[in-house]
Structures are given as C-alpha cells and as structure tokens.
Structure 1
C-alpha cells in the first residue's frame, strides 16, 4: 500500500491543481451564479462521477500494462513527463482569454441535465484520462503492492480533494467571480504558478528511478 507520506504529497498536489481555475471550476461557478447553489452542487456530482469513470479505466489499464510489459513503468513515466511539460506550456502560452468572461450567460437547465452535462463533459474529455495516466505513475510503485489498489487510492483521494474545494467554491460562487474580475493580475500569476507545478512534476517523474 502507498505510504502515508506519498499519499499526503499526492493530496497536496491535487489541492494545488484544483485551486487553479480550469474548465470544471468555470462550469461549476457558471451554474452556481446563474441557477443557484443547488444547481452547482448537482453539476459537481456529475463531474465527480465523470472523474470516477476515468479513474476506473485508468486504474485497470495501468495494472494491465505494468504487469504485462516489463519496461512499461519507465516508458509511461517518460511519456507523462513530456505531457506535463506540454501542459506547462499551455498554461503560459500567449493569447489566453479571460477565464470568467461568460459565467453569467448560461440558460437554466433541469437537475437531470445539470448532472448529465457535468458527467458527460468529464467522461468524453480524453484529456482527463491522459492527465491521470501522466500523474499517477510518479506516485505508484509496484514495490508498494497492488497497482490497482494504489490507483484507486490516489483516485479517491483526488476526488475527495476536488469535491471539498469545489463545494466551498460553489457556496461562494458570486464572490469568487467578483474577486477574479477585480484581480486580473492574479489570473496571469496563477498561469505561471501552474506552469511551475507541471514543470516540477515532470522533472520529478523523469528523475525518479525507483520502482
């Protein structure tokens, strides 16, 4: 099983990730601002189920690959490093738009549609699965035991962190939106901060030779 130190490090990394505005946060804030907190929470439930879908696929996939191919662990880590460097570039490349420009323009939807949109937006986004495949291998080590159990442990931890943070954001959605609008410099700062996180994780993954 994963040592508690590794799990805490992963939880901290997951916290940093969720604190940086992205598509999920923008969608949840948009729904909360236009339809209220209940709509935001229903949407969050859908997003969480979408994460669970990807985590299940990635967990079984990692287990199959690492057990079947002796050198897959190293190859997967190196591929993950390159992808994280790509994400770092995406975070700081020129030409980005304002993150919260359209948070007040969504039409009202039924609870079922809110849940479905959150669910399928995540399920049909291949970048979510690719991100997990890039992120998990630097914390999973076959020497710790079952790769499947480690994957699910990391996945559940990430979901818990994401739900907790987004729940708070939904409760204060209007204030969060106003704060971002009043602090445009922070948006630029967080892009470089996020790029630094991705770059550090890529370097850590590339240099870690432990199994």
Structure 2
C-alpha cells in the first residue's frame, strides 16, 4: 500500500523550507498586490504539475529495469534529501526569480511556469523520493500521478497562504533570525528522512 501520509510529510518538509518560490511570491505580492501573486501561483502550479508528470513517466521507466536499480535510486534519494538538508542549514539555494520583469499578470504566470517546469532539482526530488513510499519501489504511472497531485496541492496551498498573508508571512518566515531557525529545524528533519532512505536501501 502506498504511504501517502509519509510522502505528504516529506513534501511538506521541503515546501515549508524558505526557498525561491516563497521569496518571489512574498516580494511580488508586497510590491504589486495580490493579483500578481495569484497569477504567479497559477504558473508555478502548472510548472510543478508538468515537471512532476514528466518525472513520474521517467521514474516508471527507469525503475522497471530491476531491483538493483531501485536500491541505487533509494541511495540517490538519501543523497538528495541530505543535500537539501545541507542547503537549508547553510541558508542557500537556487536563485529567486525576483528579477522577472514587472508587467502583466500573464508574465508572472509564464515566469512561474517556466522556472518550475525546468527546475532539475524538482525533477530529481520526485524521481528519487517518490518510489521510497511505494511497495517494491516501482511506481505505476497512476500511482505516480496521484502522488504528483498531492505534491502540487501541498505546494499550492502553502503558496496561497503566503500570498494572502504576505506581510505576516514575511515577518514570520523571511526575517533573518526566524528563517535560520526554521531552516535548521527542517534541515534536521530532512536529514532524518535521508537516514531512513539509506536504511531502507541497505536493509
């Protein structure tokens, strides 16, 4: 049986870690208003959906090759989570798309779509982490799409909360002192998930 709750928790840990989409949405909403932020969310959600769908297809093909490859993917998933934990701990990451030209809301949607569709980190996370929550580590396409929908839904819910409470969210999540505490707590949690993936691969 698919561990949807465990997968949702892993996604939640990643999405709650302050990152480029968070920073962009808060900055954009404060600068141009709620409509601009909502336009960007639409693009981000579509980009994440397309990225996840392609990743599910890739994972279903790759992992059908045999159990040895599934074990390798588990170790790669552990490395991916450890890397994300390190990035969160040292307060870095990929660049925020705040330099996107300020124009019509369609521009923000297009920018959000392109940035998230072409984000290799998102694809690698999905290809490696998703199978860890499926018995046998070999997801069927429908199972993968179900998990993709959960992932995009969680991300979109968090993004909507940020836009509708931009000023409050900026004070809570983006203030330097608080952001460091949030990142480091989540980093430790992600490192624990990485350790679990290693144990699963070697067990």
Shorter chain as normaliser: what TM range? 0.7 to 0.9
Deviations 1:98-137 (A, max 9, x none): x99x97x876321221110000011122111112123212
Give the CA deviation at 1:9.
2.3
Equivalent residue number for residue 136 of structure 1 = 130
Distance 2:167 2:112 in 1: 20
Question: What does residue 77 of structure 1 align with?
Answer: 74
Q: Does 1:173 align with 2:173?
A: no
Aligned to 1:161: 154
Gaps in structure 2 of 5+ consecutive residues? none
Unaligned ranges ≥5, structure 1: none
Residue-pair matches, total? 202
TM-score of the aligned structures, taking structure 2 as reference length: 0.87
Query: 1:13 offset after TM fit, Å?
Result: 2.8
TM-score by length of 1: 0.84
User: Which of 1 and 2 has greater Rg?
Assistant: 1
1:42/1:90 Cα in 2 relative to 1: closer, same or farther (>3 Å)?
Answer: same
Deviations 1:176-209 (A, max 9, x none): 223446x532211112112112211111111125
CA RMSD of aligned residues (A): 2.8
Q: Does 1:208 align with 2:200?
A: yes
Query: For residue 64 of structure 1, what is the aligned residue in structure 2?
Result: 61
2:47 to 50, 56, 67: 50
Contact 1:92 1:195 in 2 (8 A): yes
Whether 2:140 is the aligned partner of 1:147: answer yes
With over 3 angstroms needed to count, the CA separation of the structure-2 counterparts of 1:13 and 1:83, relative to structure 1, is closer
CA distance in 1: counterparts of 2:136 and 2:65, whole angstroms: 13
Q: Deviations over 1:133-175 (max 9, x none)?
A: 23212112248x8522221111100111111121111001122
| Counterpart-to-counterpart distance in 2, 1:131 and 1:175 | 29
Partner of 2:87: 90
